[in-house]
């Protein structure tokens, strides 16, 4: 018995894109998300780089397409707890509104996304202790309130978690340089008199128009980029004293701020590990999906037989890239189903 | 609620893993025993009250961290000395307790090098062989006494004879303990366990602005004698403590204690008056547990201690 249904685990932008593209060819798709709503992290984001589309409106557009396609069945508030290869097909067990269910699929896409690094792990910055210290994610979630609250000086600290081997994360989270520049721009636009500083290790704006965007924020908005790490944040006189080093000038510097934004890293989501190992895939040292060597796979998003992945469960990526990977995984699923049917006949 | 108590980053799992030994090898600290002999005595007194017997050995030498830091010796000497020093408690079948953050940091680090690199271990083995000692196998565990005190905080609380009610104490943790991120029981950048100990002793803890600033010992008094670099730094630290109303400061490292206590005289001589006694955490605990004051060696301090503590002596 050949069941042609496709399972997509994780309804963020990557998973939604994969579901849309697979269903467009007429295949049945079951899209499962553990959250109450589709859209993953992006639904809570404000403007997205590079064209400043609102995260919520992007998610709305995708959800509308999904709702209008009867081929896509959406199960939210549902967690897949088992996914196994069974005789050339995939058996998934999941709990939907308290009811355990099992279903056979012919292919699957894992798009379980990422978690946010816990800013509290840097005691020196006082996240969760000192009022006024927030993460970049908090900035996105509470954007309106933050932009309204008058700020004399704001400080953005990049690479909080990323590229720090002492915190077990040697990798670059890739998106923080861009979203920090974007948030600095938004703050400057809302409060032109605010002094905005960005402390950086390197500026990695390797996206289309990325370099120009960051340059614009520096040159047109006069956001001050300082190369160096912030050593400590110290609450003083109701403000936050920033103690840092300017490594280009080679001098220690101090400044007082009202708002400190930590660009925290993207870390692998917990759901990824168990799913990937159950279907016979592997994780890399950081806990992201270990890709098959390029010359050995037919599709860039292949994981194991009939299983593909997309988005930040593979490695930190921006929204556009997550959607690209969703589409690529969909193409992989479709060609796999086509060749599989050929083999069955 | 006090600032430090919000969101403690103390790792309860690491605390629970700490032993409550009956017998421990006491690794003596050069700086501690020379500068503030009362510290060593206080460690023994607190140990006795908690039921820990400390054994020492005349064979033990300096941890060599001192010389290693200022590149006075090549690392082989430090490795050989550590291997030899740690073979002493190994022979006694005891784990090691230290009361100096420096000894703690260097012993931990060098012991790690010894049992993770066969070539380094051989350096140690050869030295022990030449001295007719047994080989060091790398299984001796190293603890700082401050963590052992914290491990038995409840018992300590029940033993307090002189509650330090109203005494405003501030902590200076010192880098070389907390920097051992894989074993230290608290967060390196925002530690709070000393404040919990003060509370158990009935005292009030004060969070001052430069609480997390380094003592400057290595740069100033210790090795390089760069007074011009370090003095403004310590002045800043001590003045911020004074501004916060700190009456007493504690350390867990004789090096830190030396810098913070002795330099106050220099600071004052340059026109900024500051007088905050700085003592070891073990001295403070021993005092609160009722140890005779004359045994705690406060006379060794440059900044007088008794004016602050005397009112608690009945």
Establish how many alpha carbons lie within 13 A of residue B18's alpha carbon, considering only the half-sphere containing its beta carbon. 24
Distance CA B5, CA B207 (A): 11
Chain B nearest C-alpha distance from A117 (Å): 16
Average pLDDT of the residues in A89-105 = 90
Record: contact A123-B6, CB cut-off 8 A? no
Q: Which residues of B fall within a CB distance of 8 Å from A125?
A: 189
Q: A102-106, A256-260, B62-66: which has the minimum mean pLDDT?
A: B62-66
List pLDDT tens digits, range A210-251: 999 999 999 999 999 999 999 999 998 889 999 999 999 999
Distance of CA A176 to the CA centre of its chain: 10
Mark the ranges of chain B whose per-residue pLDDT is less than 50.
1
Average pLDDT of the residues in A31-57 = 92
Q: Which of B9, B181, B187 sits opposite A166 (nearest CB)?
A: B181
Distance CA B199, CA B153 (A): 10
Neighbours of B238 (CB within 10 A): 26
Find which of B5, B7, B10 to mutate to test the A interface (most A CBs within 10 Å of its CB).
B7
Establish how many alpha carbons lie within 13 A of residue A24's alpha carbon, considering only the half-sphere containing its beta carbon. 12
Neighbours of A21 (CB within 10 A): 21
B226 Cβ neighbours under 8 A, 6+ residues apart: B219, B220
Q: Which of A120, A123, A128 sits opposite B188 (nearest CB)?
A: A123
Answer yes or no: is pLDDT of A123 > 60: yes
Residue A322: its pLDDT value, please? 97
Distance CA B35, CA A333 (A): 73
Chain B nearest C-alpha distance from A74 (Å): 39
Record: contact B188-A241, CB cut-off 8 A? no
Q: In degrees, to the nearest 5, what angle opens at C-alpha B161 toward C-alphas B157 and B163?
A: 70
Residue B267 near residue B237, CB atoms below 8 Å: no
Record: contact A123-B9, CB cut-off 8 A? yes
Q: Which residues of B fall within a CB distance of 8 Å from A235?
A: 3
Neighbours of B292 (CB within 10 A): 10
- Minimal Cα distance from B3: which residue of A? A129
Query: How high is the mean pLDDT of chain A?
Result: 93
pLDDT over 70, % of chain A: 98
Q: Which of B7, B190, B210 sits opposite A124 (nearest CB)?
A: B190
Chain A nearest C-alpha distance from B180 (Å): 11
- Minimal Cα distance from B1: which residue of A? A129
- Minimal Cα distance from B213: which residue of A? A232
Alpha helices in chain B (DSSP H): 12-17, 30-35, 37-50, 65-69, 75-92, 101-116, 118-130, 145-151, 153-159, 175-178, 193-200, 227-243, 254-269, 281-288, 306-309
Q: Which of B7, B209, B210 sits opposite A120 (nearest CB)?
A: B7
Residue B165: its pLDDT value, please? 96
Distance CA B64, CA B56 (A): 18
Q: A28-32, A33-37, A161-165, B187-191: which has the minimum mean pLDDT?
A: B187-191
**Which position has the higher pLDDT, B46 or A165?**
B46
Residue A237 near residue A87, CB atoms below 8 Å: no
Average pLDDT of the residues in A63-70 = 97
Distance CA A314, CA A289 (A): 5
Record: contact B189-A122, CB cut-off 8 A? yes
Residue B227: its pLDDT value, please? 79
Residues in A whose CB is inside 8 Å of some CB of B read 120, 122-126, 128-129, 166, 232, 234-236, 241
Record: contact A234-B209, CB cut-off 8 A? yes
Average pLDDT of the residues in A33-52 = 92
Q: Which run of H or of E encompasses A67?
A: helix A55-67
Answer yes or no: is pLDDT of A345 > 80: no
Chain A nearest C-alpha distance from B7 (Å): 7
Record: contact B7-A128, CB cut-off 8 A? yes
**Which position has the higher pLDDT, A341 or A230?**
A230
Record: contact A129-B191, CB cut-off 8 A? no
Record: contact A120-B9, CB cut-off 8 A? yes
Residue B75: its pLDDT value, please? 82
Q: Are strands A230-236 and A107-110 parallel, antiparallel or unpaired?
A: unpaired
Q: Which residues of B fall within a CB distance of 8 Å from A123?
A: 9, 187-191
Q: Which residues of B fall within a CB distance of 8 Å from A234?
A: 209-210, 212
Residue B270: its pLDDT value, please? 93
Interface predicted TM-score (ipTM): 0.78
Q: Which of B7, B188, B210 sits opposite A129 (nearest CB)?
A: B7
Distance CA A55, CA B257 (A): 54
Answer yes or no: is pLDDT of A50 > 90: no
Distance CA B94, CA B92 (A): 5
Q: Which residues of A fall within a CB distance of 8 Å from B210?
A: 234
Structure tokens at A106: 């012919």
Residues in B whose CB is inside 8 Å of some CB of A read 3, 6-7, 9, 181, 187-191, 209-210, 212
Chain B nearest C-alpha distance from A123 (Å): 5
Q: Which residues of A fall within a CB distance of 8 Å from B209?
A: 234, 236, 241
Distance CA B149, CA B156 (A): 8
Chain A nearest C-alpha distance from B3 (Å): 8
Question: Which domains are present in chain B?
Answer: 3-144 (1.20.1050.140), 161-312 (3.40.50.11810)
Q: Among A331, A334, A318, A250, which residue's Cα sits nearest to residue A58? A: A318
Q: Give exposure, B139-178, as e/b (b: 16+ Cβ within 10 Å).
A: ebbbbbbbbbbbbbeeebeebeebebeebbbbbbbbbbbb
| Burial of B91 from C-beta contacts in 10 A (0-12 / 13-18 / 19+) | middle
Secondary structure of A256-270 as H, E, C letters: EECEEEEEECEEECH
Q: Which residues of A fall within a CB distance of 8 Å from B188?
A: 123
Distance CA A127, CA A235 (A): 12
Record: contact A129-B212, CB cut-off 8 A? no
Neighbours of A192 (CB within 10 A): 9
Question: Which domains are present in chain A?
Answer: 6-113+269-344 (3.50.50.60), 117-265 (3.50.50.60)
Residue A65: its pLDDT value, please? 97
Residue A172 near residue A162, CB atoms below 8 Å: yes
| Burial of A68 from C-beta contacts in 10 A (0-12 / 13-18 / 19+) | exposed
Average pLDDT of the residues in A19-42 = 96
């Amino acid at each position: 018995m050949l069941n042609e249904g496709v399972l997509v685990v994780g309804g963020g932008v990557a998973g939604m894109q994969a579901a849309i593209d697979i269903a467009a060819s007429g295949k049945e798709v079951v899209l499962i998300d553990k959250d109450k709503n589709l859209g993953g992290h992006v639904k809570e984001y404000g403007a997205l780089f590079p064209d400043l589309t609102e995260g919520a409106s992007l998610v709305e557009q995708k959800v509308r397409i999904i709702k209008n396609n009867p081929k896509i069945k959406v199960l939210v508030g549902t967690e897949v707890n088992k996914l196994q290869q069974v005789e050339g097909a995939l058996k998934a067990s999941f709990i939907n509104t308290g009811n355990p269910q099992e279903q056979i699929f012919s292919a699957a896409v894992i798009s379980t996304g990422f978690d946010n690094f816990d800013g509290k792990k840097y005691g020196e910055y006082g996240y969760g202790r000192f009022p006024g210290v927030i993460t970049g994610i908090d900035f996105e979630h509470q954007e309106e309130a933050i932009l309204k609250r008058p700020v004399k000086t704001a400080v953005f600290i990049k690479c909080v978690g990323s590229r720090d081997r002492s915190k077990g994360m040697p990798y670059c989270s890739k998106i923080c340089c861009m979203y920090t520049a974007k948030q600095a721009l938004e703050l400057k636009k809302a409060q032109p008199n605010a002094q905005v500083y960005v402390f950086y290790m390197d500026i990695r704006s390797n996206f289309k128009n990325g370099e120009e965007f960051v340059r614009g924020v520096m040159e047109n908005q006069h956001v001050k980029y300082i190369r160096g790490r912030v050593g400590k944040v110290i609450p003083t006189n109701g403000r936050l004293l920033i103690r840092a080093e300017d490594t280009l000038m080679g001098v220690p510097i101090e400044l007082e701020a009202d708002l400190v934004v930590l660009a925290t890293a993207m870390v692998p989501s917990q759901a990824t590990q168990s799913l990937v190992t159950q279907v016979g895939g592997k994780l890399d040292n950081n806990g992201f999906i270990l890709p098959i060597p390029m010359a050995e796979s037919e599709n860039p998003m292949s994981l194991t037989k009939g299983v593909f992945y997309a988005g930040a469960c593979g490695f930190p990526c921006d929204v556009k890239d997550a959607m690209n990977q969703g589409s690529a995984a969909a193409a992989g699923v479709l060609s796999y189903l086509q060749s599989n049917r050929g083999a069955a006949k | 609620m006090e600032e430090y108590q919000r969101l403690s980053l103390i790792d309860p799992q690491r605390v629970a893993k700490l032993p409550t030994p009956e017998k421990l090898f006491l690794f003596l600290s050069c700086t501690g025993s020379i500068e503030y002999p009362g510290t060593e005595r206080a460690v023994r007194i607190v140990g006795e009250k908690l039921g820990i017997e400390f054994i020492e050995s005349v064979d033990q030498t300096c941890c060599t961290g001192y010389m290693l830091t200022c590149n006075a010796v090549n690392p082989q000497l430090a490795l050989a000395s550590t291997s030899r020093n740690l073979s002493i408690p190994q022979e006694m079948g005891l784990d090691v307790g230290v009361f100096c953050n420096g000894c703690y940091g260097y012993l931990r680090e060098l012991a790690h090098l010894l049992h993770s690199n066969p070539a380094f271990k051989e350096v140690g083995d050869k030295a022990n062989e030449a001295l007719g000692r047994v080989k060091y196998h790398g299984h001796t565990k190293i603890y700082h006494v401050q963590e052992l005190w914290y491990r038995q905080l409840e018992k300590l609380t029940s033993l307090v004879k002189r509650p330090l009610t109203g005494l405003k104490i501030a902590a200076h943790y010192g880098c070389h303990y907390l920097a051992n991120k894989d074993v230290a029981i608290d967060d390196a950048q925002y530690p709070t366990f000393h404040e919990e100990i003060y509370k158990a002793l009935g005292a009030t803890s004060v969070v001052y602005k430069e609480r997390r600033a380094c003592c400057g010992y290595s740069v100033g008094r210790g090795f390089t004698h760069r007074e011009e670099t370090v003095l403004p730094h310590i002045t800043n630290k001590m003045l911020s403590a004074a501004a916060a109303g700190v009456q007493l400061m504690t350390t867990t490292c004789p090096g830190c204690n030396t810098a913070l206590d002795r330099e106050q005289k220099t600071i004052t001589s340059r026109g900024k008056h500051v007088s905050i006694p700085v003592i070891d955490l073990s001295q403070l605990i021993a005092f609160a547990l009722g140890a005779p004051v004359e045994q705690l060696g406060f006379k060794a301090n440059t900044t007088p201690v008794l004016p602050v503590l005397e009112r608690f002596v009945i």
